[in-house]
C-alpha cells in the first residue's frame, strides 16, 4: 500500500472469491482505488487521502477471518458430504407459500428511514 507492505498473505486468501468478487482485493480497491462502477451519490467520489491505523486493523482482521474460513473448508466439505448422503427432500414436497405472505421486500430507503 503506497510504500507499505502486508505480508505474508497466503495465495488462497488473496484469491478467495465470493460470487466472483475477490474479497481482499475488493476491500483494498474500495479503500485505496478510484471509485469504480455505479455511484449512488456524489459521496461515492470521496476517497481516503491516506492509510490509517483503522485500515490496518480492519485489513488484519479481514485476513485473519479469511485464513480461519479457509482452514475449516475441508471439515465443511466432509459435513456437506454427510448431509448429502442422508435423506433429502425435493422443494415440491414443501407446503405452498400462501399468497398473503408473498410480498416484495421494502425499498432500501424505507428501511433506512425506519431505523
- Cell 482452514, residue located: 71
Task: Give yes or no for a contact between 34 and 47, defined as CB atoms under 8 angstroms apart.
Answer: yes
Distances (CA, A) of 33 to 13, 59, 104: 20, 15, 35
Kindly indicate the confidence band of residue 5, based on its pLDDT and cuts at 50, 70 and 90: confident
- How does pLDDT run across 94-111, given as a tens digit for each residue? 999 888 888 877 776 655
Kindly indicate the confidence band of residue 1, based on its pLDDT and cuts at 50, 70 and 90: low
pTM of this prediction? 0.64
DSSP state of 41: S
Amino acid at each position: 500500500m503506497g510504500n507499505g507492505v502486508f505480508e505474508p498473505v497466503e495465495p488462497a486468501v488473496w484469491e478467495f472469491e465470493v460470487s466472483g468478487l475477490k474479497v481482499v482485493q475488493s476491500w483494498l480497491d474500495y479503500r485505496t482505488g478510484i471509485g469504480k462502477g455505479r455511484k449512488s451519490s456524489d459521496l461515492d467520489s470521496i476517497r481516503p487521502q491516506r492509510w490509517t491505523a483503522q485500515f490496518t486493523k480492519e485489513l488484519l482482521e479481514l485476513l485473519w477471518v479469511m485464513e480461519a474460513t479457509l482452514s475449516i473448508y475441508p471439515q465443511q466439505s466432509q459435513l456437506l458430504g454427510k448431509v448429502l448422503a442422508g435423506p433429502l427432500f425435493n422443494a415440491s414436497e414443501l407446503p405452498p407459500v400462501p399468497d398473503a405472505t408473498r410480498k416484495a421486500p421494502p425499498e432500501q430507503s424505507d428501511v433506512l428511514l425506519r431505523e
